[in-house]
Amino acid sequence: MTDFTAHLDTLRSLDAAGMHGEDFFLTWEKSHDELVATFTVADALRALREANISSRIFDSGLAVSLFRDNSTRTRFSFASACNLLGLAVQDLDEGKSQIAHGETVRETANMVSFMADVIGIRDDMFIGKGNAYMREVSQALKEGFEDGNLEQRPNLVNLQCDIDHPTQAMADMNHIIHTFGGIENLKGKRIAMSWAYSPSYGKPLSVPQGIIGLMTRFGMEVVLAHPEGYEVMPGVEEVARKNAAASGGSFVKTGFMAEAFEGADIVYPKSWAPFRAMERRTELYGEGDRAGIDALEKELLAENAQHRDWECTEELMASTTGGKALYMHCLPADISGVSCAQGEVASSVFDRYRVPLYKEASHKPYIIAAMIFLSKMADPSAKLAELIARDARRFSN
């Protein structure tokens, strides 16, 4: 397994010790080496599975998932990742738990963690709430372990919050790395992270923020495009600017989709709600103002409708590098004439990139598994070498 040996060599050259015993909240909190180590372990775990070699590092154990928003890909990716490593998964349904009766975060975190090794949380709909909630859970777990209530301290994986979607952004980046033949080939590549029209309301900001916060780490030319009023969090834009300056890349903004696509190597047209609107939405939910929420929804749908021309079309794709930029989306996309009358992307564009899109999505289970692996293994390269030497068959027929 030549590729596997190369993965081990790469991993040994990196300093990822800081990930051991730690949570994964935001990509920009991780060092360059830690990000590369995550990509490397993800590829190594995929190589093991493709070779029919078991990658189970747990004989038993539990992973707890808490999804406060609907999910298909991330939910199944988390379950797949945990199973790949030997963990069973239990979903925490807040509506069927004592949380609905006022149970505190501290109590919930400890009660579900007596035999848990990892907790995955998705909490992305309310500005200023999701990431803060995850950190509150993390602190409760730390205290529970230090107090002796927990035999082990479960590590937390951010499965999407109000600020970042690290498992998606990391999976997207690994897809880009594979498409362009290595991290060393990404410097100077132009990626257009563009708003696109959707007939639905309230899509989270965390995907575009995750993209600009991560892609600027690798010397890429990152362009953020959106109509006036559809700004993302100013703090994340500042992160992107600093990242670009440090990596030798660039981060620019434009109010024109066509300008972003011109000469792009990668395009990522995706709808999101305006930051100011998501702030207002959070306030209204906090006040229990149902009428205000309904009024805001109508306002935002009307605002969206003014920008129906923000669609990824064949004409726009023709303006990209060689007319063949890599089209990306976190899925599900709003496909014009298929899933909606008019949406983010023309059906002919989406159909042409369907196979690459599925390959893009396939990286997420391995990225999540790598995040867990690196949080648990003090010497990840030694553990991977042990797995290949053990050569336990995943299945036999």
DSSP code string of 260-316? HHTT-SEEEE-----HHHHHHHHHHHHHT-HHHHHHHHHHHHHHHHTTTT--B-HHH
Cα separation, 384 vs 386, in Å, equals: 5
- Strand-pairing partners, residue 224, are 193, 253
Asked if the model's pLDDT at residue 176 lies above 80, the reply is: yes
The mean pLDDT value for 299-317 works out to 96
- Please state, for a pLDDT cut of 70, what percent of the chain lies above it: 97
* Closest of 90, 89, 1, 91 to residue 45, by C-alpha: 1
Is 9 exposed, middle or buried (CB count within 10 Å of its CB: 0-12, 13-18, 19+)? exposed
Three-class secondary structure of residue 392 per DSSP: coil
- Strand-pairing partners, residue 335, are 345
Tell me the backbone φ, ψ of residue 163, rounded to 5 degrees.
-105, -45
How far lies 310's CA from each of 193, 194, 260, 276, 350, in Å?
12, 9, 12, 20, 15
How far lies 222's CA from each of 245, 257, 317, in Å?
12, 13, 17
List pLDDT tens digits, range 346-371: 999 999 999 999 999 999 999 999 99
Decide yes or no: CATH 3.40.50.1370 for domain 2-164+362-390. yes
Instruction: Give the pairing type, strands 116-123 and 62-67.
Output: parallel
119 and 111 Cβ atoms separated by less than 8 Å: no
pLDDT at 24: 98
Containing H/E element for 251?
strand 250-254
CATH H-level, domain 168-359: superfamily: Aspartate/ornithine carbamoyltransferase (3.40.50.1370)
Q: Which residue has the tokens 């004989």?
A: 59
329 and 268 Cβ atoms separated by less than 8 Å: yes
* Closest of 349, 350, 368 to residue 358, by C-alpha: 350
Cα separation, 387 vs 5, in Å, equals: 12
Cα separation, 252 vs 271, in Å, equals: 19
Cα separation, 274 vs 292, in Å, equals: 17
Three-class secondary structure of residue 91 per DSSP: strand
Enter the DSSP assignment of 233. -
Question: For 9-73, where are the E strands, in sequence order?
Answer: 62-67
Asked if the model's pLDDT at residue 139 lies above 50, the reply is: yes
- Residue spans per domain, the chain: 2-164+362-390, 168-359
pLDDT at 95: 63
* Closest of 274, 230, 273 to residue 254, by C-alpha: 230
* Closest of 31, 104, 22 to residue 374, by C-alpha: 22
Cα separation, 43 vs 35, in Å, equals: 13
Q: What is the mean pLDDT of the chain?
A: 95
pLDDT at 356: 97
List pLDDT tens digits, range 262-297: 999 999 999 999 999 999 999 999 999 999 999 999
Asked if the model's pLDDT at residue 101 lies above 50, the reply is: no
List pLDDT tens digits, range 48-96: 999 999 999 999 999 999 998 888 899 999 999 999 999 999 999 876 5
Task: DSSP for 353-366, please give it.
Answer: THHHHHHHHHHHHH
Identical topology for domains 2-164+362-390 and 168-359: yes
The packing angle between helices 234-247 and 206-215, to 10°, is 20
First-to-last C-alpha distance (Å) of the chain? 22
Cα separation, 149 vs 53, in Å, equals: 36
* Alpha helices (H) in 94-150, listed in sequence order: 105-111, 130-146
pLDDT confidence of 1, banded at 50, 70, 90?
A: low
The mean pLDDT value for 289-318 works out to 95
pLDDT at 16: 97
Task: DSSP for 185-210, please give it.
Answer: G-TT-EEEEE----SS----SHHHHH
List pLDDT tens digits, range 227-271: 999 999 999 999 999 999 999 999 999 999 999 999 999 999 999
Asked if the model's pLDDT at residue 97 lies above 70, the reply is: no
